[in-house]
Amino acid sequence: MTDFDHDLFVIGAGSGGVRAARIAAGHGANVAVAEEFRVGGTCVIRGCVPKKLLVYGAHFAEDLVDARRFGWTLEGKAFDWATLRDNVLAEVDRLNGIYLNTLENHKVTVYPERAVFLDPHTLDVGGKRVTAKHILIATGAQPLVPTLPGAEHGITSNEVFHLEALPKRLIIAGGGYIANEFAGVFHELGVEVTLINRGDTILRGWEPALRDRLLTISMTKGLNFKFNCAMDHVEKTGDGVRLHVKDGDPIDADLLLWAVGRRPNVEGLGLAAAGVELDDRGAIRVDADSATNVPHIHAVGDVTDRIQLTPIAIREGHAFADSVFGGKPWRVDYNAVPSAVFSNPPLGSVGLTEAQARNNLGSVKIFTSDFRPMRNVLAGRNERALYKLVVDEATDKVVGAHMIGPDAPEILQAVAIAIKAGLTKAQFDDTVALHPTMSEELVLMK
């Protein structure tokens, strides 16, 4: 018997929270979850999933153009944003239902409320006092809105999935994952897109050759970029917004999308009442077991700002539940985490960039394949793919793979297995090519 209402109380039913709740319940724990918005979290409700569906929807624009070169005649071709939007949102509803069922099937109590710490073991959950032996904070992150006058006239990725109509002109502020993904989507849907960034490049931290390739292709497609652009204020105009910048002419558009990063959801949780500390970036400070400075309170996912990726939050939640409730302690390995940008074309990356490898390992060998995918050749589409392998000269191990081109994220996932397994370049070369594919380039780089 326990003196607490629950063995585990999870705050936030996103990727990390739901996985932790399900696994802990499977280990026999009495679990409750509080979610003030919708079960599923950012990824399912207003992130990865609806974004990827929009990426698919938008890509038909180019596919239908290319189809002509493959013999297809397409008459009466038209696009209806409301159809795509509503179908995507219906799929989000379906997944939300699946997540709810998962929790119910595991006998997890779901409170559709905000939970606020009253003390280290007690939460106020929609006006009710609930106690728990262990508490997991899995509240995720939210889009950052810059502190500029008029910033409220812009929207964020939370709202972008619900647009009444497509804008004619869109400004996207930021140059990271979200900015480049939505730039691709909206451009393909016929929107005039201008991406403005404070720095001199997109996708900081990514392999420079890939960033340059995406930039070149995007500019050729007709996207506008403004770099080293300091924003000053936003003005509401009759039919849209005007973004004033420090050096240069203001930019007019129908819509402004903030994509300047995400900040951990730590406000209004009563963390002070629980004694939980933050780190200097405002995220919850945790150790390698996801424990906060209060030993029975853990935190996983974006609220800890380790790596802001869904599969990482899921693993952190799973490791926590197995370790604390399953008697099977393990830790998340943050090495060789693959990631992708679903831009047009998309990028995938795992392991070290060339610069990181040179700094960490000394001598490295670089292999690249710069090619026009067969499909693009017949389509008359002058877009080249670029694959790059980074090899540790001392061990011959492939320590990094970076790709831009059609389906790069799909291919990259498989390469990530090889890199995680520590395979050598000789072992890559020893693998027979699968012809004709794009991925065969990975075993043909000399």
Identify the H or E element spanning 92: helix 81-105
Pairing of β 6-11 and β 347-351? unpaired
Strand ranges, E, within 301-344: 339-341
What is the closest distance, in whole angstroms, from the C-beta atom of residue 270 to ligand NDP in the complex? 26
Kindly give, in sequence order, each residue whose CB lies less than 8 Å from that of residue 331, ignoring residues fewer than 6 positions away.
Answer: 288, 289, 319
Phi, psi of 135 (to 5 degrees): -130, 135
- Based on the shown chain and the rule CB under 6 A, indicate whether residue 318 belongs to the binding site for ligand NDP: no
Place of tokens 């730590």: 266
Angle, helices 15-26/310-325, rounded to nearest 10 degrees: 30
What is the closest distance, in whole angstroms, from the C-beta atom of residue 213 to ligand NDP in the complex? 17
Q: How far apart are CA 249 and CA 183, in angstroms?
A: 21
Helices (H), 126-264: 177-188, 208-221
Q: CB neighbours (10 Å) of residue 230?
A: 10
Place of tokens 């929609």: 126
Q: Could you tell me if 55 and 347 are in contact, meaning their C-beta atoms sit under 8 angstroms apart? A: no
State which of positions 414-433 bind ligand NDP (CB under 6 A).
Answer: none
Please compute Rg for the chain using Cα positions: 24
- Based on the shown chain and the rule CB under 6 A, indicate whether residue 179 belongs to the binding site for ligand NDP: yes
Residue number with CB closer to ligand NDP (15 or 109): 15
Stretch that binds ligand NDP, among 3-11, 194-202, 216-224, 374-382 (CB under 6 A): 194-202
- Based on the shown chain and the rule CB under 6 A, indicate whether residue 349 belongs to the binding site for ligand NDP: no
- Based on the shown chain and the rule CB under 6 A, indicate whether residue 339 belongs to the binding site for ligand NDP: yes
- Based on the shown chain and the rule CB under 6 A, indicate whether residue 198 belongs to the binding site for ligand NDP: yes
Site map (CB under 6 A) of ligand NDP, residues 158-177, x = contact: ----------------xxxx
- Based on the shown chain and the rule CB under 6 A, indicate whether residue 214 belongs to the binding site for ligand NDP: no
State which of positions 247-286 bind ligand NDP (CB under 6 A).
Answer: 259-262
State which of positions 88-127 bind ligand NDP (CB under 6 A).
Answer: none
Output DSSP code: residue 239.
Answer: T
Output DSSP code: residue 443.
Answer: G
- Based on the shown chain and the rule CB under 6 A, indicate whether residue 211 belongs to the binding site for ligand NDP: no
- Based on the shown chain and the rule CB under 6 A, indicate whether residue 292 belongs to the binding site for ligand NDP: no
Residue number with CB closer to ligand NDP (31 or 196): 196
- Based on the shown chain and the rule CB under 6 A, indicate whether residue 204 belongs to the binding site for ligand NDP: yes
Question: What are the structure tokens assigned to 133, written together?
Answer: 């032996």
Q: CB neighbours (10 Å) of residue 146?
A: 14
- Based on the shown chain and the rule CB under 6 A, indicate whether residue 246 belongs to the binding site for ligand NDP: no
- Based on the shown chain and the rule CB under 6 A, indicate whether residue 309 belongs to the binding site for ligand NDP: yes
106 belongs to the catalytic site: no
Catalytic position from the list 27, 134, 153, 435: 435
Residue number with CB closer to ligand NDP (162 or 168): 162
Contacts to ligand NDP by CB under 6 A? 146, 174-179, 181, 197-199, 204, 259-262, 308-309, 339-342
Residues that are catalytic: 435
